[in-house]
A and B are shown apart, each in its own frame.
Chain A
């Protein structure tokens, strides 16, 4: 199985081994298991600040994965996905502050609210396709943001602060509301999301149906797949996950404002992460999420004095789309080889035959 391919370059050997590993039936189990162990032990070696960074990275991996469900696997470009993140945060805030309930019911209600809203919005909006769906979801998200800025219950233009006492969680926690505690919550949520994505989208009949919708919706319909139902289910699921992350985030950061948690920046970042990592793959959001988050966070925290990271991100995005559209995962699993990139560059040069 792990054939020794004669090396033209060191890369061949590595790829051969990676391919051989991923070809195993239980590759997924091993990878996931290793991830669980690693993440469980990680906080032991990190200080407060690095735990925060790890927790942030985990959250974005989960968020990117949630967008990947509807955007990458189902092929519906949801440009309003970030709204659910914000909705989750605000619902939790409202439940904790106005109803004086602890966090756990806040989290659950955030999920319920996310599901309900996703259903109500999903039914009419999923009838649209392509750019229309993208623009409609974007408009919906912006409308939500404006609404949160106006209503008193969300704090209006002042935003909302959440309780910080350890007792606000609902059950006693050893060590109080430390960064480590939030880290484990995010890790659990993130791992759960990835596992769920795998089981539902990669390892099941349902997953095939979803991808069929993406690849050719009309053909899928004619094959007897209830595309409307499939789309709706994926959309609602992906939105609920975003809402849950929003809920935990709000509790962690303790101050939320519509411009921050309901802004289009959240959605944009999710999309970039999935694209960079690899659309419609299970590892794509993981790789993309980690890369983008760490790059962006590290650059502002360690290179604090320049805004040059912004144009650089722009260039990075353009390069990925131009030469590695299948993302990093595509590069790693051979979909985008050196030959592909060369061919790509040639084709691009051709297009300049303008005059």
Chain B
């Protein structure tokens, strides 16, 4: 039985790694741009689909497409950001709702366009890495592709933290997040840096999509569950607190795995949603209390 226990733990940690890849970008965008992006799951889906279509067309290994997809979606996000900025500023009523609904429009458009153009079928991304696992006898099995994904998640988090705290560009973004007016007075090109931030988020999330497509499959309707997970992540992490994302990813992955294996699996998602609800009420600054408080 304890072999099952450790394997479940491994499954949970690696699953958490997948969640981290989705949560990093989302947390960044929420903290810096204060945008609640309803389309986050759709960026994942677009990345997965791009991976599936490109591997089928070019015959390359899916992993090589990672940088390609990142750059592609960085550019897309870079140019989408001004629209978002526009709807959340100016003298509009209820900017928060505007932003939410606009991103909801993006999500509907993305999902509908992919469905209409590519049809409803599920697709796969081919790669040599999807088979194979590292087996540590006495401990458990670590599927290779999941290990790579988890590593990617943690790595991207560290890279972002480095960028935000150790580079001029990152400082500019943080300055904007803290006080936009001051930032402008300091001569920072707000628009450029906001676009960089959103572009990075789109690129990163789409790349997460490739990994997810490699581990599972790609389908037009896959976005919704990842939007849900992204929300989970940032709530538990504390909205805007990047390092918390690792903790919340782990919590989510491990809770999901243990409930699935040891409790009745039907209760998994109920538990997760109830958990989010309670966390928001009791500790809106996240499990570590480091996020922005709920004001």
> In the complex, are there CB atoms of A and B closer than 8 Å?
yes
Task: Name A residues whose Cβ lies closer than 8 Å to a Cβ of B.
Answer: 71, 75, 77, 124-125, 127-132, 134-136, 138-140, 142-143, 146-147, 149-150, 264, 268, 271-272, 275, 279-280, 306-318, 321-322, 325-326, 344, 347-348, 351-355
| CA–CA, A48 and B273, complex, Å | 41
Give min CB distance, B17 to chain A, whole Å.
Answer: 23
Q: A314-B107, A325-B93 are in contact. List 18 more A-B contacts (CB 8 A).
A: A77-B94, A128-B281, A132-B284, A134-B36, A135-B231, A271-B104, A279-B94, A279-B97, A306-B116, A310-B115, A314-B113, A318-B106, A318-B109, A321-B87, A322-B83, A351-B82, A351-B83, A354-B82
Give min CB distance, A215 to chain B, whole Å.
Answer: 9
Contact across chains for A280 and B274 when beta carbons are under 8 A apart: no
Task: Name B residues whose Cβ lies closer than 8 Å to a Cβ of A.
Answer: 36, 78-79, 82-83, 85-87, 90, 92-94, 96-98, 100-102, 104-113, 115-116, 189, 191-192, 195, 224, 228, 231, 235, 239, 266-267, 269-270, 273-274, 276-277, 280-281, 284, 294-295
Note all chain A residues with C-beta closer than 8 A to B276. 135-136, 139
| CA–CA, A191 and B284, complex, Å | 39
| CA–CA, A271 and B90, complex, Å | 21
| CA–CA, A149 and B267, complex, Å | 10
Instruction: List 4 tightest A-B contacts by C-beta distance, closest first.
Output: A310-B112, A314-B109, A317-B105, A311-B112
Contact across chains for B85 and A351 when beta carbons are under 8 A apart: yes
| CA–CA, A347 and B89, complex, Å | 10
In the complex with contacts A347-B86, A354-B192, A125-B281 CB distance below 8 A? yes
Note all chain A residues with C-beta closer than 8 A to B277. 136, 139-140, 143
| CA–CA, A199 and B46, complex, Å | 47
Note all chain A residues with C-beta closer than 8 A to B36. 131, 134-135
Note all chain A residues with C-beta closer than 8 A to B231. 135, 138-139
| CA–CA, A296 and B101, complex, Å | 18
Note all chain B residues with C-beta closer than 8 A to A146. 267, 269-270, 273
Note all chain A residues with C-beta closer than 8 A to B239. 131-132
In the complex with contacts A77-B96, A351-B191, A135-B235 CB distance below 8 A? yes
Note all chain B residues with C-beta closer than 8 A to A351. 82-83, 85-86, 191
Contact across chains for B228 and A317 when beta carbons are under 8 A apart: no
Which of A313, A314, A353 is the one whose CB lies under 8 Å from B191? Answer: A353
Note all chain A residues with C-beta closer than 8 A to B195. 354
Residue in A closest to B98 when the chains form the complex, CB atoms: A321
Q: Which of A77, A131, A311, A313 has the most CB of B within 10 A?
A: A131
Give min CB distance, A8 to chain B, whole Å.
Answer: 25
In the complex with contacts A77-B97, A143-B273, A321-B98, A132-B280 CB distance below 8 A? yes
Contact across chains for A321 and B105 when beta carbons are under 8 A apart: yes
Note all chain A residues with C-beta closer than 8 A to B267. 146, 150
| CA–CA, A293 and B37, complex, Å | 25
Instruction: Return 17 A-B CB contacts under 8 Å, by A number.
Output: A125-B281, A136-B277, A136-B281, A146-B269, A271-B97, A271-B104, A272-B101, A314-B108, A314-B110, A315-B105, A318-B105, A321-B87, A325-B92, A347-B90, A348-B82, A348-B86, A354-B82
Q: Which of A71, A142, A272 has the most CB of B within 10 A?
A: A142
| CA–CA, A311 and B105, complex, Å | 9
Note all chain A residues with C-beta closer than 8 A to B110. 314
| CA–CA, A308 and B245, complex, Å | 37
Note all chain B residues with C-beta closer than 8 A to A147. 270
Note all chain B residues with C-beta closer than 8 A to A125. 281
Note all chain A residues with C-beta closer than 8 A to B109. 310-311, 314-315, 318
Residue in B closest to A345 when the chains form the complex, CB atoms: B86
Q: Which of A75, A125, A311 has the most CB of B within 10 A?
A: A311
Which of A128, A268, A310 is the one whose CB lies under 8 Å from B284? Answer: A128
Contact across chains for A311 and B113 when beta carbons are under 8 A apart: yes
| CA–CA, A150 and B113, complex, Å | 34
In the complex with contacts A134-B36, A351-B191, A143-B274 CB distance below 8 A? yes
Which of B85, B92, B294 is the one whose CB lies under 8 Å from A132? Answer: B294
Note all chain A residues with C-beta closer than 8 A to B189. 354
Note all chain A residues with C-beta closer than 8 A to B270. 143, 146-147, 150
Which of A132, A139, A275, A354 is the one whose CB lies under 8 Å from B97? Answer: A275
Residue in A closest to B90 when the chains form the complex, CB atoms: A347
| CA–CA, A315 and B239, complex, Å | 29
| CA–CA, A124 and B110, complex, Å | 36
Note all chain A residues with C-beta closer than 8 A to B87. 321-322, 325
| CA–CA, A147 and B277, complex, Å | 14
Contact across chains for B86 and A317 when beta carbons are under 8 A apart: no
Residue in B closest to A149 when the chains form the complex, CB atoms: B266
Residue in B closest to A131 when the chains form the complex, CB atoms: B36
Residue in A closest to B281 when the chains form the complex, CB atoms: A124
Note all chain A residues with C-beta closer than 8 A to B79. 352
Which of B92, B94, B102, B116 is the one whose CB lies under 8 Å from A317? Answer: B102
| CA–CA, A352 and B82, complex, Å | 6
Contact across chains for A134 and B100 when beta carbons are under 8 A apart: yes
Q: Which of B78, B93, B104, B116 has the most CB of A within 10 A?
A: B93
Contact across chains for A321 and B102 when beta carbons are under 8 A apart: yes
Give min CB distance, A55 to chain B, whole Å.
Answer: 26
Contact across chains for B93 and A136 when beta carbons are under 8 A apart: no
Residue in B closest to A352 when the chains form the complex, CB atoms: B82
| CA–CA, A321 and B38, complex, Å | 14
Note all chain B residues with C-beta closer than 8 A to A135. 36, 231, 235, 276, 280
| CA–CA, A131 and B235, complex, Å | 11
